Structure 1
Amino acid sequence: MVLHRQVLCATMLSLASAALGYELIHDYSGNTFFDGWDYYGKWDNLTLGNVTYLTQEAATQQKLTYVNDAGNAIIKVDNFTTVASGERRNSIRLTSQEYYDFGTVWIIDALHMPWGCSVWPAFWSTAPDWPVGGEIDIVEGINTQPNNQFAIHTTEGCYHDNPPNQAGFNIDTNCSQASGCTVGINTQNSYQAGFAAAGGGVYATQYDTSGIYMWFWSRPNVPASLSSSSTSINISDWGTPTASFPNDQACNTTKFFKPQQLIFDITLCGDWAGVPGIYDSECYNAGPHHDCYLDNVVGNGSNYDDAYFEVSYVRTYATGAALAAAQASKTATTSSTASTSSATQSHTQTSDASLPRVSLHGVLFMSMCVAGLIAGSVLPLL
């Protein structure tokens, strides 16, 4: 057993020697975009929205998830079915099968975001035992809100009082409250119709032991490091984060956050977009009832023509221990697959998104192995 551990550690150290940059570990794009995601397949019992989240089979049949002719993934609300009062409208919630730990970066390149009265979309992450393990809201908005809003949610004890080097502005600073620690942005092309009109854009999240940092770039301003290469990234030219949640005395992020799963969802009304006082401020005149559900969800659905994501890709990258663990997992899977050829014949890997998830235990083990090698990294690692 000791020899086995020494060999394994030596192998991981070799892998980690080239792991000081961020290297691609998963690429959700093109015809295999939807590989590696789980469909919720139940009504929205989480935020009490007036939707039923479809299974993969139903979503494919009804074309609520598909890849368009441009090669982009479409994730949308049903905009063609007549819904009677008392019924729910169909929509989508996707959760990545992968868990992403500290030392990773997540990129979403999109051309269109869902918006409109009653619409509440998000691209976000969470640990499985919410709220333990934290939540990170990368893209989120409601109704006709013009700009995106970033947030993190934790259990009690995390605050966001005086963040350094942040381009956005603080809205709420107690991360355990319902709104979480929220950061606003005054860029109208960060969301809604302005986002699509500008050609879309890119959101990036750095999930690190030093903190959680998020950026937004409209299409003309996307950094060259994201435009020129998909296999590795250099974050040195990204500039000041739009939202900055550092690991400091106000919030020890390594205490409040655990490995995260990525999520897309679009709900309708619910316990934010549908709250009367909030809904009325933007959509009071959307219909004769002045009611989120009756004036939007009920009916023929044509008012949801803009309630969709169009996504070019979601890519995830890792460095240091997280990268070495991902590479080791891939190597182990390849060896296992080679030794079971019959299983390989019955299940062909079609997407990098089907790689095994990076476990927390693996990352912790790697941190012991690679600590010496990665001490010179530009970012703190496990």
Structure 2
Amino acid sequence: MHSHALTSVFALTTLLRLSIAGYVLTDNYERDNFFDAFTPFTEPDPTAGFVQYVDYAAAMENKMIGAVGNYGNATYMGVDYNSTSDTGRQSVRITSKKAYNQGLFIADIAHMPGGICGVWPAFWLVGPNWPSMGEIDIIEGVNGATTNTMTLHTSAGCSIQTTGMSGLVNTTDCDTNAPSQPKNAGCAVLSNDTANFGAGFNALGGGVYATEWTAQAISIWFFPRASIPADIAANSPDTSKWGTPLANYAGGCNIAQHFQNMNLVFDTTFCGAWAGQVWTQGSCRDKAATCEAYVQENAGVFQDAYWLVNSVRVYQEGSGGSRRRGVRREVQG
């Protein structure tokens, strides 16, 4: 066969292999299996929150998880909004039984607890022996925040560049003990889009947060409900088509070394090391002298402090080992 034809056939074969490798769905956490796949955390809050994390039995008894209201096929996780306690408000924190090493994590969320004074919600990934195996905060904010804060926390030796993303890089050293930053600041990227957190997010029916974790970078995208890519809906996600990510963590960091064996976590805490610490810096300070006093005395305001999760889907690289990255469909020659 003519060498040019051989080259064309080889190129076509290579392109086809790349185009079908992509990401393969490995785990699909939805309402029917959601709580079976996660373990409730019932220890004292490591972030010193004014909270009592309860087990599934107590959460169900107090109608804090499961089928509460007309939520269709989504998974509900709320807090106690009926009683008061001087030892903290009851809430739920859950950790996936399965741990991961890289992958694509797509969370379809219809409602989140953000934007309420005293509340500190988060959706994140965390490894053992914190912070040596890393933490990826995908959704996080406190009190009356209207936009999302995304952060990595690591041991020493991990920093990020400031380009390649639409969010604003606030800090660049991911080390929790970085000498030039406040303790535990990590490398934070701030969004200025009110559609991706709290009241703005909920008003639109939520949307999708997609987090791609590879050996080269950790990237986070947000898509509001009306703009979710068709490839996500079809369970064939193609990150090359999604445009500039909201956060793009790359640069001076060996990601494979700093991020390992990570579990998914959902939680809603109150006050503590962030929401409580900045209580006097915003409008929430006018509601009570302290964050703890407000959370204890105003149960009803936390009725809206709930997660409503349609699904969390985890994808791994296909058998070809190559991710979809703008594969060309045509063959020259």
> Could you say which residue in structure 1 is the equivalent of 2:48?
48
Q: Retained in 2: the 8 A contact 1:112–1:195?
A: yes
Q: Distance in 2 between matches of 1:131 and 1:235?
A: 28
Q: Retained in 1: the 8 A contact 2:196–2:224?
A: yes
> Could you say which residue in structure 2 is the equivalent of 1:23?
24
Give the aligned residue type for 1:55: D
Q: Distance in 1 between matches of 2:280 and 2:169?
A: 22
1:221 aligns with 2:227: yes
> Could you say which residue in structure 2 is the equivalent of 1:159?
159
> Could you say which residue in structure 1 is the equivalent of 2:213?
207
Q: Retained in 2: the 8 A contact 1:121–1:140?
A: yes
1:357-376 alignment to 2 at 5 Å?
A: 373-374=320-321
- Cα deviation, residue 378, structure 1: 4.5
1:136 aligns with 2:136: yes
The one of 276, 283, 301 aligned to 2:299: 301
If the length of structure 1 is used for normalisation, what is the TM-score? 0.74
Q: Distance in 2 between matches of 1:143 and 1:300?
A: 14
Q: Retained in 1: the 8 A contact 2:279–2:290?
A: no
> Runs (4+) of structure 1 moved beyond 6 Å?
16-19
Seen in structure 2, the aligned counterparts of structure 1 residues 71 and 279 have a Cα distance that, compared at 3 Å, is farther
Query: How many residues align structurally?
Result: 299
> Could you say which residue in structure 1 is the equivalent of 2:110?
111
Q: For residues 63-111 of structure 1, give each alpha carbon's deviation from its aligned partner in whole angstroms, at most 9, with x where no partner exists.
A: 211145411111111111132xx32211010000011112x11011111
Q: Distance in 2 between matches of 1:134 and 1:272?
A: 19
Q: For residues 209-235 of structure 1, give each alpha carbon's deviation from its aligned partner in whole angstroms, at most 9, with x where no partner exists.
A: 1111110111122111112x23x3222
RMSD of Structure 2 on Structure 1 (CA):
1.9
Seen in structure 2, the aligned counterparts of structure 1 residues 62 and 18 have a Cα distance that, compared at 3 Å, is farther
Give the aligned residue type for 2:48: L
Q: Distance in 2 between matches of 1:256 and 1:82?
A: 41
> Could you say which residue in structure 2 is the equivalent of 1:99?
99
> Could you say which residue in structure 1 is the equivalent of 2:7?
none
Q: Retained in 1: the 8 A contact 2:220–2:245?
A: yes
Q: For residues 9-48 of structure 1, give each alpha carbon's deviation from its aligned partner in whole angstroms, at most 9, with x where no partner exists.
A: xxxxxxx99972111111111222212100012331x001
The one of 69, 75, 86 aligned to 2:77: 75
> Could you say which residue in structure 2 is the equivalent of 1:244?
248
Q: Retained in 2: the 8 A contact 1:284–1:291?
A: yes
Give the aligned residue type for 1:175: C
> Could you say which residue in structure 2 is the equivalent of 1:13?
none
**Higher percent of residues as helix:** 1
- Cα deviation, residue 259, structure 1: 2.0
Give the aligned residue type for 1:313: S
> Could you say which residue in structure 2 is the equivalent of 1:175?
174
Q: Retained in 2: the 8 A contact 1:170–1:182?
A: yes
Q: Retained in 2: the 8 A contact 1:225–1:235?
A: no
Q: For residues 256-290 of structure 1, give each alpha carbon's deviation from its aligned partner in whole angstroms, at most 9, with x where no partner exists.
A: 11121000011000011001x44442311113xx2
Seen in structure 2, the aligned counterparts of structure 1 residues 279 and 118 have a Cα distance that, compared at 3 Å, is farther
> Could you say which residue in structure 2 is the equivalent of 1:63?
63
Give the aligned residue type for 1:77: V
Q: For residues 292-342 of structure 1, give each alpha carbon's deviation from its aligned partner in whole angstroms, at most 9, with x where no partner exists.
A: 00122x12510101211111111111114xxx6xxxxxxxxxxxxxxxxxx
SS in 2 for 1:209: coil
If the length of structure 2 is used for normalisation, what is the TM-score? 0.85
Give the aligned residue type for 1:256: H
Q: Distance in 1 between matches of 2:154 and 2:78?
A: 29
The one of 271, 274, 299 aligned to 1:272: 274
Q: Distance in 1 between matches of 2:47 and 2:163?
A: 32
SS in 2 for 1:146: coil
Q: Retained in 1: the 8 A contact 2:52–2:87?
A: no
1:299-378 alignment to 2 at 5 Å?
A: 299=297, 301-320=299-318, 373-374=320-321, 377-378=323-324
SS in 1 for 2:104: strand
